Amino acid sequence: MDYVYSFAREFLKLTWLVLPYFLGGAAVGAALDVFVKPEFALKHLRGGWLSMAKASVLGMVLPGCSCATMPMADGLRRKGADLGTVTSFLLASPLASPQTLVLTFAVLGWKFAAARALAAFAGAMMIGGIFLRLERACPDFLAVPAPEPVKKCRSGCGCSGAEDEESPKRFWPIFVDILKDLGKYFALGMAIASLLTVLLPPDFIARHIGSSGPLAYVSAVLLGVPLYVCEGEEIPLTLSLMKLGLGPGPAFAFLLGSVGTCIPTLVMSQKLIGRRGVLVYAVWWLAFAFGAGLLFGLSA
């Protein structure tokens, strides 16, 4: 009974702390979903470095996980956008959104939020540059298949934005949809974080893998890869790992790694960047999360 009481107290305390920011982030995401039109991307994102920069920013401001923006990425490809632009958009989308940046600020602080936004843009430009080079220098290596008609996302990953948008959008229905889609992941993240905090001793990680040593970085990245979580669920998990003794650098590496390898997204991405492209993307993401964590640890 002591564990149940401690879990309930930790869950309510953490939820009460974060809930206002969660609602605020959902409101910002709904507003952007209403006013940012997909036609803008299809018109302005064709190819080149400027196009990649625009795609990175657009991926960061559009609400929804990477699965939700997959049809739009496919639309970019069918409209003639190069692979650099498409991959920049795909990377920035799950890494930063209005909801996740607000939640990151509320739970982990402004340094984590600012570093997350910077990592989203820089990382998107870097992976875009890699694919732009591959497409121009050795297109046979990627063997990208021809574009196919857009399909609805069925990954169960909060993909309300993946459907065709023919009727005019209204704020309140979209706001409610965001809460429905993300609320279960928000609650699950809070529950897992509370459970870890209650069951594991405070110095568990520091005692077994170290707080910020090489093993801590490697363990954080490898732990984050299979534990993909949807739209903000990784934030309370990162907080619980820090409470258990994980240092800021490895915690940031976990934060990035846990949102960068969505299995449904990688499967769907084969249609856009090819199987070898998916392999390049995944391997690069591991190195990127590790390196970004190291840089954050040095500056924290």
Rounded Cα distance, 139 and 135, in Å: 5
> If you write DSSP's letter for every residue of 126-144 in order, what string do you get?
HHHHHHHHHHHH-HHHH-P
Residue 139, both tokens? 């297109």
For residue 150, what pLDDT is reported? 44
For residue 127, what pLDDT is reported? 92
Rounded Cα distance, 121 and 115, in Å: 10
Q: Which amino acid is at 170?
A: R
Rounded Cα distance, 195 and 193, in Å: 5
Rounded Cα distance, 295 and 300, in Å: 9
Residue 254, both tokens? 């976990």
In order of 37, 60, 253, the CA distances from 264 in angstroms are: 25, 19, 21
In order of 130, 133, 252, 280, 284, the CA distances from 272 in angstroms are: 15, 16, 29, 13, 17
For residue 160, what pLDDT is reported? 46
8 A C-beta contact, residue 24 and residue 100: no
Residues lower than pLDDT 70 in the chain:
1, 25, 28-29, 32-33, 36-44, 46, 63-72, 75, 78-79, 145-168, 181-182, 185, 189, 208, 224-231, 260-268, 300
Residues 6+ apart with CB under 8 A from 147: 74, 77, 78, 271, 272
Instruction: Provide the residue ranges of all domains of the chain, joining segments of one domain with +.
Output: 2-299
Rounded Cα distance, 84 and 73, in Å: 11
For residue 18, what pLDDT is reported? 72
Nearest Cα neighbor of 105 from 232, 2, 203, 5 is 232
DSSP 145: P
Residue 143, both tokens? 């063997």
